[in-house]
Structure 1
Amino acid sequence: MTTSAQRSLADIQRQIHALGTAVPYVVHHRLSRLATAATAGAQPSAVDQEEFTAMGMEKLAALQESLQAMTLASLDASQKLVTACAHWSAIPWSMAPTQVAWTLMTDTPLAVLSAGLSPVSERASDNARRLGHANGIAP
């Protein structure tokens, strides 16, 4: 495994760990607020309405950022692969472009996954910190 693949794998592991610790806390907090708002009556408080609206909007924003990051990582890898193929067609007896292409094909899925997880794990961690501090609890 190459160094960039190891780095991508370490990033993915870190992001999954961040998601695994932050998501249950955020889900618990938000479901508790939803249950409290539902039992309080048909009209949630202004604070709850703001939180619920922000919750929906941030999910859409995180999805958009994730898709954009994965698209850019894929395009970057595609350009590098085309360049390697062009070098190979110019110098077919060289193994260097083939090695570059092989490295790209093995490292790209990890890089794309890491790019896609990054916005989601950052949002979840930020929410856990924000919601924890709002209640005086450190996540």
Structure 2
Amino acid sequence: MDPNASKMEFEQWEWDSRLEEWGTKMNLTDEITVDVLFDPKGINENEGFHIVYGQWEKVKENWRKLEEDVADHLLDIHNEAWNDEEPITKDTFISRMTIEAIRFWSDGTAEVYFDDGDLFWGHCILVSLNQDGQVVDADIAG
């Protein structure tokens, strides 16, 4: 990435003074647009947007692996405790999740929010990513 690039060069960001974070919508794929949030606390804003851009690229490059990792973390929990019918497959699990938002933190980590497609009776799937864009944890929230 160009070290002189600013937040405006890759997306239109808006400041939310209530949440004290930046937000925009970005295309993850040609079919998927997500809310992208960035909490700049504790970091120079331009440096922060460089981190966000780098992390965004990692998420885009590894999108399918990220979905598979979430399913690896939660499929057994769904089938054993939340599913009253026949167990579902990993592919079915992935097809029912819908990404809603990604929140990037100034330390390079991120949280990914999925609609659960009623896998967990309407609870959100919350996924933590490390600085390398890899899944650290996936849990049910809300």
Q: Which one has a larger percent strand, Structure 1 or Structure 2?
A: 2
Is the shorter-chain TM-score for this pair beyond 0.5, marking a shared fold? no
Scaled by the length of structure 2, the TM-score of the pair is 0.26
Scaled by the length of structure 1, the TM-score of the pair is 0.26
